[in-house]
């Protein structure tokens, strides 16, 4: 693909954004390094990187700068001639993926504004897969940014911003002003020879689910765009500042909550069907945390901005404490919960949410390794959903919601439980699957979400980019390499499916679309990040030392 070869990834470093993040300095410094005019076919000795890691010379890092001091990483910034003997030959799938990604581009009045969810002409039912989904566009956007093509991303950000301003109604009920659409569709009117837009905020979606994640992804993408291009004018524009504030006003509003986590309805994220993910799902909390941190770095300090900044800082403080303390599980913590007393009253309660030990599911006792840990799916009164969710845990690492020790433990878990969480194709969206009676009750007998299929323990190749980013951030690129190798065995041959089924993710999903754009873009982003780890800065935030981890530490934190 011309895009792959011709683009050098050069950025206008002299006009860098004024995105100021005290906690993000290491990454900003990294991005300020002038990029060399390397071709995409540049040298990168990935093997030597894995070898170094295998030999134990790669340590988990909490500062991205320290990764660059590693000899193996330096090869990324080498001139092509200096290490020409290790010339990096792109996998043939890369060119194929770029072709497919470009075919998925949607134009509005001649300008690219996004990518279609799936380019699957063979599928009997198009449903809404011919639309541009906000969450689906994120990996596409990152691929374009990493390839030095920011225009489509800017157009997308502006177009969705306009849609945010639309009045949204479901029957006679009006949705909040700040809600961003789940998706939008461009249709061509051949008579008037013009393009028209329709957006879906949940009023047409199956089950009428509103996308809480869209607004968060929009803010995260705005920061990625700013970081990548150095163009801070977009984020600073009155329209974007207003857009951010509208999203924030929705999720920072006060209610009857006793927790800093955001109360959600089922199906409000990537898992957009009934799956027992209501209440305080980690999938949304991690995105909420990340979006708040991104907004903090982009909000203008005018009177209104200052007020939001103060509210965000308070919320982040409480949110990180709450999630790091109460969502965290490892061997020691599980043992503590197993021995919990119940019906404790007053401030001295240890079992604050009155979790009944009998409600701990059997599977977790075998699943929990001695080394490793993770953020569980949900915590609310008398309810802990112990399921593993890949997106929430990866975003927790990228946003530094997870402390460095917790990030290490999550990666340990992924290594220790590879068969269950990655299997033969990366990556399980959730683990384990709901079966039998539980499936009937929780999913409402959903035939698409039968056990080990789709959202219910299915495997989603798109998650590869999030996993790769988490691996790079924690200094374990060799694990990402292993996962990418698995994807390369099958993804293209199978026609880039939306998801796989089965305990090991071995079967192309029952109703999986082919040529699913985010499976394609997710692969490209993973490849580009591994090739040039400095891309990580777009989508990662360093630890904020002011947000202290809770005092209580259990076994896996101190390895
Ligand atoms: C399905 C997925 C959702 C995705 C959409 C378009 O509804 O559950 O996460 O955004 O398809 O690909």
Instruction: Walk along the chain (559 residues) and give the pLDDT tens digit of each residue.
Output: 333 333 333 333 333 333 444 344 343 333 333 333 333 333 323 333 333 333 333 333 333 333 333 333 333 223 233 233 344 678 999 999 999 999 999 999 999 999 999 997 666 677 788 999 999 999 999 999 999 999 999 999 999 999 998 998 888 899 989 999 999 999 999 999 999 999 999 888 888 888 999 999 999 999 999 999 999 999 999 999 999 999 999 999 988 999 999 999 999 999 999 999 999 999 999 999 999 999 999 999 999 999 999 999 999 999 999 999 999 999 999 999 999 999 999 999 999 999 999 999 999 999 999 999 999 999 999 999 999 999 999 999 999 999 999 999 999 999 999 999 999 999 999 999 999 999 999 999 999 999 999 999 999 999 999 999 999 999 999 999 999 999 999 999 999 999 999 999 999 999 999 999 999 999 999 999 999 999 999 999 998 877 665 545 444 444 3
Measured in Å, residue 271 CA sits from the centre of ligand 1 at 7
Measured in Å, residue 118 CA sits from the centre of ligand 1 at 10
Which element (helix H / strand E) includes 197? strand 194-200
Give the pLDDT of residue 281: 98
Which is the closest atom of ligand 1 to the Cα of 454? 8
Ligand 1 mutation pick, 115, 133, 448, max ligand atoms within 8 A of CB: 133
Measured in Å, residue 531 CA sits from the centre of ligand 1 at 28
Give the pLDDT of residue 57: 32
Which element (helix H / strand E) includes 308? helix 303-322
Residue with the nearest Cα to atom 9 of ligand 1?
270
Which element (helix H / strand E) includes 69? none
Angle at 509 between CA 530 and CA 389, to 5 degrees: 55
Give the pLDDT of residue 550: 53
Evaluated on CA atoms 463, 466, 470, 475, the torsion sign reads: positive
Measured in Å, residue 448 CA sits from the centre of ligand 1 at 13
Give the pLDDT of residue 458: 98
Ligand 1 mutation pick, 117, 134, 514, max ligand atoms within 8 A of CB: 117
Which is the closest atom of ligand 1 to the Cα of 273? 8
Residue with the nearest Cα to atom 2 of ligand 1?
270
Give the pLDDT of residue 1: 37
Measured in Å, residue 270 CA sits from the centre of ligand 1 at 6
Give the pLDDT of residue 14: 31
Q: What is the DSSP letter of 459?
A: B
Closest of 203, 189, 16, 93 to residue 520, by C-alpha: 93
Residue with the nearest Cα to atom 11 of ligand 1?
129
Measured in Å, residue 372 CA sits from the centre of ligand 1 at 30
Give the pLDDT of residue 102: 98
Evaluated on CA atoms 137, 140, 145, 148, the torsion sign reads: negative
Q: Global pTM?
A: 0.85
Ligand 1 mutation pick, 128, 136, 277, max ligand atoms within 8 A of CB: 136
Measured in Å, residue 287 CA sits from the centre of ligand 1 at 17
Closest of 155, 36, 62 to residue 398, by C-alpha: 62
Give 389's strand partners: 430
- Maximum separation of any 2 CA atoms in the chain, in Å: 71
Measured in Å, residue 234 CA sits from the centre of ligand 1 at 28
Break the chain into its structural domains and give their ranges. 7-30+50-557
Contact call for residues 341 and 350 (beta carbons, < 8 A): yes
**Architecture per CATH, 7-30+50-557:** Alpha/alpha barrel (1.50)
Give the pLDDT of residue 549: 56
Q: From edge to edge, which strands make up the β-sheet containing 194-200?
A: 132-133, 183-189, 194-200
- Pocket around ligand 1 at a 6 A CB cut-off: 117, 133, 135-136, 270, 272
Which is the closest atom of ligand 1 to the Cα of 517? 12
Cα–Cα distance, 179 to 201 (Å, whole number): 7
Give the pLDDT of residue 84: 34
Q: Is the peptide bond before 319 cis (omega within 30 degrees of 0)?
A: no
Residue 231: phi and psi, rounded to 5, are: -90, 95
Give the pLDDT of residue 124: 62
Annotate 107-173 with DSSP letters as a single string. EETTEEEEE-SB--SS-S--TTTTSEEHHHHHHHHHHHHHTT--HHHHHHHHHHHHHHTS--EETTE
Cα–Cα distance, 453 to 423 (Å, whole number): 14
Q: Long-range contacts made by residues 452-456, C-beta under 8 angstroms, separation at least 24?
A: 452/501, 452/502, 452/503, 453/499, 453/501, 453/509, 453/510, 454/499, 454/501, 454/509, 454/510, 454/511, 455/271, 455/273, 455/275, 455/429, 455/430, 456/275, 456/430
Which is the closest atom of ligand 1 to the Cα of 513? 12
Cα–Cα distance, 138 to 114 (Å, whole number): 10
In 3-state terms the chain splits into helix, strand, coil percentages (rounded to 5) of: 50, 10, 40
């Amino acid at each position: 693909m011309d895009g792959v070869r011709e683009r050098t990834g050069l950025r206008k470093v002299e006009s860098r954004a004024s995105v100021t993040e005290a906690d993000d300095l290491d990454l900003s410094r990294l991005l300020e390094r002038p990029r060399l005019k390397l071709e995409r076919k540049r040298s990168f000795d990935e093997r030597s990187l894995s070898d170094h890691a295998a030999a134990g010379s790669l340590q988990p890092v909490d500062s991205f700068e320290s990764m660059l001091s590693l000899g193996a990483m330096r090869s990324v910034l080498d001139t092509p001639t200096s290490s020409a003997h290790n010339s990096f030959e792109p996998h043939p799938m890369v060119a194929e993926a770029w072709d497919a990604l470009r075919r998925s581009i949607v134009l509005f009045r001649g300008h690219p504004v996004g990518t279609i969810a799936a380019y699957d002409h063979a599928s009997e039912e198009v449903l809404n897969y011919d639309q541009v989904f906000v969450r689906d566009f994120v990996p596409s956007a990152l691929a374009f940014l990493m390839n030095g093509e920011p225009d489509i991303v800017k157009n997308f950000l502006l177009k969705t911003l306009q849609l945010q301003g639309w009045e949204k109604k479901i029957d006679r009920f009006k949705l909040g002003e700040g809600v961003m659409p789940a998706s939008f569709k461009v249709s061509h009117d051949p008579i008037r020879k013009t393009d028209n837009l329709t957006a879906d905020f949940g009023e047409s979606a199956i089950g009428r689910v509103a996308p809480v994640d869209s607004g968060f992804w929009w803010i995260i993408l705005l920061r990625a765009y700013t970081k990548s291009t150095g163009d801070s004018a977009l984020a600073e524009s009155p329209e974007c500042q207003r857009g951010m504030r509208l999203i924030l006003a929705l999720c920072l509003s006060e209610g009857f909550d006793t927790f800093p986590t955001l109360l959600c309805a089922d199906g409000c994220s990537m898992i957009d069907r009934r799956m027992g993910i209501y209440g305080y799902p980690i999938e949304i909390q991690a995105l909420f945390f990340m979006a708040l941190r991104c907004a903090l770095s982009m909000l203008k300090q005018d009177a209104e901005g200052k007020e939001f900044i103060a509210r965000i800082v308070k919320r982040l403080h409480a949110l990180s404490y709450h999630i790091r303390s109460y969502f965290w599980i490892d061997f020691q913590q599980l043992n503590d919960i197993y021995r919990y007393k119940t019906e404790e009253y007053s401030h001295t309660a240890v079992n604050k949410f009155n979790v009944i030990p009998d409600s701990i599911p059997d599977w977790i006792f075998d699943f929990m390794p001695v080394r490793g840990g993770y953020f569980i799916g949900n915590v609310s009164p008398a309810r802990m959903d112990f399921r593993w969710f890949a997106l929430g845990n990866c975003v927790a690492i990228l946003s530094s919601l997870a402390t460095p020790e917790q990030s290490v433990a999550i990666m340990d878990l992924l290594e220790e439980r590879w068969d269950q969480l990655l299997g033969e194709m990366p990556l399980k969206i959730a683990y384990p699957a709901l079966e039998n009676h539980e499936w009937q009750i929780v999913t409402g007998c959903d035939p698409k979400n039968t056990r080990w299929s789709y959202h219910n323990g299915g495997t989603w190749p798109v998650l590869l980019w999030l996993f790769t980013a988490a691996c790079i951030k924690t200094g374990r690129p060799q694990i990402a390499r292993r996962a990418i190798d698995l994807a390369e065995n099958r993804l293209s041959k199978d026609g880039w499916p939306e998801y796989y089924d089965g305990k090991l993710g071995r079967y192309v999903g029952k109703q999986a679309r082919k040529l699913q754009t985010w499976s394609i873009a997710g692969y490209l982003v993973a490849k580009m990040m591994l090739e040039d780890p400095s891309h990580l800065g777009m989508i990662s935030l360093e630890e904020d030392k002011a947000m202290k981890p809770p005092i209580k530490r259990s076994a896996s934190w101190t390895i």
